[in-house]
C-alpha cells in the first residue's frame, strides 16, 4: 500500500487520528508520530517516513503555524512534490505554503462526504494511487535498503580511527547516489559504533534489507580492508571481499566495494550515478588521508580551543600543497578561518574565510559547508535576508551536515530566531552527539524559549558529557563553565559555584568561558552583578563579532536595564568604531530551514 504521512500539532491529535483512520479505511498505509518507536532517534524515523511517503497531509491550525516541526515537514513535502494541506480552524498556512491550495476541514468530525475531505482524498489519490495487493507486495520486495555500519579500526592505534570512520562515511555517500537503493543516514549507523552487533536485529530495527560491515587495518603505506554484505533477514553473507593494497589504491577499493554491492543486489546504475560514484575530491591518497585527519580534529576537538582550529588549518594547508584543487580541504580551511574571526574573543586574524570558501566553490559548487563563511559575513553586516539565502542553499546541498546545522543555529540565534536555532541544534547534536558545546547552545535556546522542561533534560545530558571532558582535561575552562551552568539549572548550586571558581582559577583569560559563565549567572543563577563582573573583560577585549552577539543575545536581556552593562557595551562599540545596535525583536513564527 502507498504510504501517507500525517503532519499535525499535538492539540489536533484527535482530528489527526480521524484523518489517519479515514485514509487507512480506503487502503492507505498511514504514518503519524504516535507510531514513533522507543529505541530510535525521532528525527531519523520522521525523516525516513517523510522520504517514503507518496503523500504528506499537513493539518494546519494556529498551533501548527507556529510549530517548527510541522513547518519543516511541510517544507520537505513541498520540495518533494508530495504536499497535501488542510486547515482545521480557518488558519491560513504561513509563507510559502499559502501559495498552494488548502482544503477546508474547519469543524470536521469525520464526514467523508464533505467538500474539504473529498479534496484531500482526491489529492492523496493523485499523488499515491492505490495499487492491487500483488502490486504492493511486488513494490515492497523490489525495494532494497542498506545500512553501512562503521568499519572497525584494526590498526592497533586509536588515532587511526579517523581513517576507518572516513571510509565508512565515503562508502555511505557513494551508495546514497544510487536511486534504486535506500541508505541509512550516517548518524544513525554510527550509533552502533563500538558495539557487538546482531546483524538481523539491527536490520529489523533500521528497517533495512541488507547491512554492510567491515574493518580497516592501516600500517604505513599498506592497507587491508575487509567488507561483508549481509542479508538482514537471514544473516547470510551475500558478498565478501578482502583487499590488501597500497594506500594509494584507497579510491579504487571504495569504487570496487560500491560496484560489488550494486552487482550483488542486481541493481541498475544510471549513467549519472556511475559518474557520481567515481567522483572524488582528490585523486591523491596522501591528501585524502590528511583531510580525514583534519576533519576528525575539527569534529572531535574542543570548540573553544584556537589551537585545535590552527591544527585543522595547518593540516588542510598540507593537503592543498599536495593537491591545490582539493575543494573539501579549502572548505575546511574556510570554516576554520571563519571560526577564529567570528569567535568569542579578540579577533586573532584578518581572514574571515570568505576567500578560501570562494576557492572551494569554484572547484566544486556542491560543497554545502563552503557557503557558511559568507553567511557569517552577511549576518555580521546585518544583511539577514542575503545570509539566510546562503544558508538555504547550503541546506539544499546537504541538509544532514553537522557543520551546516550547527553554524545555521549560531546564525539564527544572532537573529533571535530561537526556535529555528533550537531545531538545527537538535539535528546537529544528533549527528555529533559528543559535541557538548552544541548541547550547551541548545540549552541556551530552550531557556530563551522558556522551555524549562527540555532545558533540564538537556542539562542532564550535558553533565555526563562535560564530566568526561573534565576528567580527561581538568583545566578545560569552557567545559567547566558549561558544566557549572547545567549544575545550577538542576539546583546543585554549591557544586555549580565550585565549578565556577575552578574555571576562573584555571582559565581566567578565556573570554569564551567568561561569556558562557556570564550567561549562566544572569539567567540561571539570576545574579546580575556577578554576571556583569564576569562579562566585563569580554566586552573590554573582544572583537566586533562578539560585541554584536552580546548586543542581541536574548539570554543577556536581563542585564540591558543595568547602567554598568549599558556603559560597558557603549565603550565596546566606541573602542571598535562600530555603530551601537539594539536587540532584534524575536521572530514570532520562525521557519526552520530543511
Residues 142-158: tens digit of each pLDDT = 458 999 999 999 987 77
Q: Residue 1: what pLDDT?
A: 41
pLDDT digits (tens, 9 = 90+) for 333-356: 999 999 988 887 665 667 899 999
Q: Report whether pLDDT(46) > 90.
A: no
Rounded Cα distance between 118 and 331, Å, is 50
C-alpha distance from residue 16 to each of 4, 94, 101, 556 (Å): 12, 20, 19, 40
Q: Residue 138: what pLDDT?
A: 44
pLDDT digits (tens, 9 = 90+) for 66-102: 887 888 889 888 888 889 999 998 888 888 888 888 9
Query: In the chain, helix, strand, coil percent, each to 5?
Result: 60, 10, 30
Tell me the percentage of the chain whose pLDDT exceeds 70.
92
Q: Residue 589: what pLDDT?
A: 33
Mean pLDDT is highest, among 77-86, 177-186, 556-565, for: 556-565
Rg of the Cα atoms in the chain? 25
Give the CATH number of the domain where residue 211 resides.
3.40.50.10070
Mean pLDDT of 151-169: 87
Q: How many CB atoms lie within 10 A of CB 63?
A: 16
Q: How many CB atoms lie within 10 A of CB 385?
A: 7
DSSP string, 111-161: -TTSHHHHHHHHHHHHHSPPPPHHHHHHHHHH-EEEEEPPPEE-SS-GGGH
Mean pLDDT of 244-265: 90
Mean pLDDT is highest, among 29-33, 355-359, 426-430, for: 355-359
Residue that finishes a domain, picked among 251, 280, 309: 280
The boundaries of the domain holding residue 174 are: 143-280
Strands (E) across 282-388 are located at: none
Of the listed ranges 12-21, 23-32, 35-44, 215-224, the least confidently predicted one is 35-44
Q: Report whether pLDDT(139) > 50.
A: no
Q: 125 in a domain, yes or no?
A: yes
Q: 584 in a domain, yes or no?
A: no
My answer on whether 225 and 151 are in the same domain is yes
Domains: count for the chain: 3
Selection from 279, 284, 360, 361 nearest residue 322 by Cα: 284
| Mean model confidence pLDDT for the chain | 86
My answer on whether 361 and 414 are in the same domain is yes
My answer on whether 325 and 269 are in the same domain is no
My answer on whether 10 and 106 are in the same domain is yes
Cβ proximity of 18 and 70 under 8 Å: no
- Residue 153 bridge partners (DSSP): 216
Q: Report whether pLDDT(133) > 90.
A: no
Q: Residue 36: what pLDDT?
A: 65
My answer on whether 55 and 37 are in the same domain is yes
DSSP string, 3-60: EEEEE--GGGHHHHHHHHHHHHHHT-EEE-GGG--TTS-HHHHHHHHHHH-SEEEEEE
Give the CATH number of the domain where residue 116 resides.
3.40.50.10140
Of the listed ranges 37-46, 297-306, 343-352, 532-541, the least confidently predicted one is 37-46
Q: How is residue 477 annotated by DSSP?
A: H
Q: Report whether pLDDT(129) > 90.
A: no
My answer on whether 442 and 326 are in the same domain is yes
Mean pLDDT of 563-583: 88
Q: Report whether pLDDT(318) > 50.
A: yes
Q: Residue 550: what pLDDT?
A: 93
Q: Residue 594: what pLDDT?
A: 32
My answer on whether 371 and 437 are in the same domain is yes
Q: Report whether pLDDT(591) > 90.
A: no
Q: Residue 134: what pLDDT?
A: 43
Amino acid at each position: 500500500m502507498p504510504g501517507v504521512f500525517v503532519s499535525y500539532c499535538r492539540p489536533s491529535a484527535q482530528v489527526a487520528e480521524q484523518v489517519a483512520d479515514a485514509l487507512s479505511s480506503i487502503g492507505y498505509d498511514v504514518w503519524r508520530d504516535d507510531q514513533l518507536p522507543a529505541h530510535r532517534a525521532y528525527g531519523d524515523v520522521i525523516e525516513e517516513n517523510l522520504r517514503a511517503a507518496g503523500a504528506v497531509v499537513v493539518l494546519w491550525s494556529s498551533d501548527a503555524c507556529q510549530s517548527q516541526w510541522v513547518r519543516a515537514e511541510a517544507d520537505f513535502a513541498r520540495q518533494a512534490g508530495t504536499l497535501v494541506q488542510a486547515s482545521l480552524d480557518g488558519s491560513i498556512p504561513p509563507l510559502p505554503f499559502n501559495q498552494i491550495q488548502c482544503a477546508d476541514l474547519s469543524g470536521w468530525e469525520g464526514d467523508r462526504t464533505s467538500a474539504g475531505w473529498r479534496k484531500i482524498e482526491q489529492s492523496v489519490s493523485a499523488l499515491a494511487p492505490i495499487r492491487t495487493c500483488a502490486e504492493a507486495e511486488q513494490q515492497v520486495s523490489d525495494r532494497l535498503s542498506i545500512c553501512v555500519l562503521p568499519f572497525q579500526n584494526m590498526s592497533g592505534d586509536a588515532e587511526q580511527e579517523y581513517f576507518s570512520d572516513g571510509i565508512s562515511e565515503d562508502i555511505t555517500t557513494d551508495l546514497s547516489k544510487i536511486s534504486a537503493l535506500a541508505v541509512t543516514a550516517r548518524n544513525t549507523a554510527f550509533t552502533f559504533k563500538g558495539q557487538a552487533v546482531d546483524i538481523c536485529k539491527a536490520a529489523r530495527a533500521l528497517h533495512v534489507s541488507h547491512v554492510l560491515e567491515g574493518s580497516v587495518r592501516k600500517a604505513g603505506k599498506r592497507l587491508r580492508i575487509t567488507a561483508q554484505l549481509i542479508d538482514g533477514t537471514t544473516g547470510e553473507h551475500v558478498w565478501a571481499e578482502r583487499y590488501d593494497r597500497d594506500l594509494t589504491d584507497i579510491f579504487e577499493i571504495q569504487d570496487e566495494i560500491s560496484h560489488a554491492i550494486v552487482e550483488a543486489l542486481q541493481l541498475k546504475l544510471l549513467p549519472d550515478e556511475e559518474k557520481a560514484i567515481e567522483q572524488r575530491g582528490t585523486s591523491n591518497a596522501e591528501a585524502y588521508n590528511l583531510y580525514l585527519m583534519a576533519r576528525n580534529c575539527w569534529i572531535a576537538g574542543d570548540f573553544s580551543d584556537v589551537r585545535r582550529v590552527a591544527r585543522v588549518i595547518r593540516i588542510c594547508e598540507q593537503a592543498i600543497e599536495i593537491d591545490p584543487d582539493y575543494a573539501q580541504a579549502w572548505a575546511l580551511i574556510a570554516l576554520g578561518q571563519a571560526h577564529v574571526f567570528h569567535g568569542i574573543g579578540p579577533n586573532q586574524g584578518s581572514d574571515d574565510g570568505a576567500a578560501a570558501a570562494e576557492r572551494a566553490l569554484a572547484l566544486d559548487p556542491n560543497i554545502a559547508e563552503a557557503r557558511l563563511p559568507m553567511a557569517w559575513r552577511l549576518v555580521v553586516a546585518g544583511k539577514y535576508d542575503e545570509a539566510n539565502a546562503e544558508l538555504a542553499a547550503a541546506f539544499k546541498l546537504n541538509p544532514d551536515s553537522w557543520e551546516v546545522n550547527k553554524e545555521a543555529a549560531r546564525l539564527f540565534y544572532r537573529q533571535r530566531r530561537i526556535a529555528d536555532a533550537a531545531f538545527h541544534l537538535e539535528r546537529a547534536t544528533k549527528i555529533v552527539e559528543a559535541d557538548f558545546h552544541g548541547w550547551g547552545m541548545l540549552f541556551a535556546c530552550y531557556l530563551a524559549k522558556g522551555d524549562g522542561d527540555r532545558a533540564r533534560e538537556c542539562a542532564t545530558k550535558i553533565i555526563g558529557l562535560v564530566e568526561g571532558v573534565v576528567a580527561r582535561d581538568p583545566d578545560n575552562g569552557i567545559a567547566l563553565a558549561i558544566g557549572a551552568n547545567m549544575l545550577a539549572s538542576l539546583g546543585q548550586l554549591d557544586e555549580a559555584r565550585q565549578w565556577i571558581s575552578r574555571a576562573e582559577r584555571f582559565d581566567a583569560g578565556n573570554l569564551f568561558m567568561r561569556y558562557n559563565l556570564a550567561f549562566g549567572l544572569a539567567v540561571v543563577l539570576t545574579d546580575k552583578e556577578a554576571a556583569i563582573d564576569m562579562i566585563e573583560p569580554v566586552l573590554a577585549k573582544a572583537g566586533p563579532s562578539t560585541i554584536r552577539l552580546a548586543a542581541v543575545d536574548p539570554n543577556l536581556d536581563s542585564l540591558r536595564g543595568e547602567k554598568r552593562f549599558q556603559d560597558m557595551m557603549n565603550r565596546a562599540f566606541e573602542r571598535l568604531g562600530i555603530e551601537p545596535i539594539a536587540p532584534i525583536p524575536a521572530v514570532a513564527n520562525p521557519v526552520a530551514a530543511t
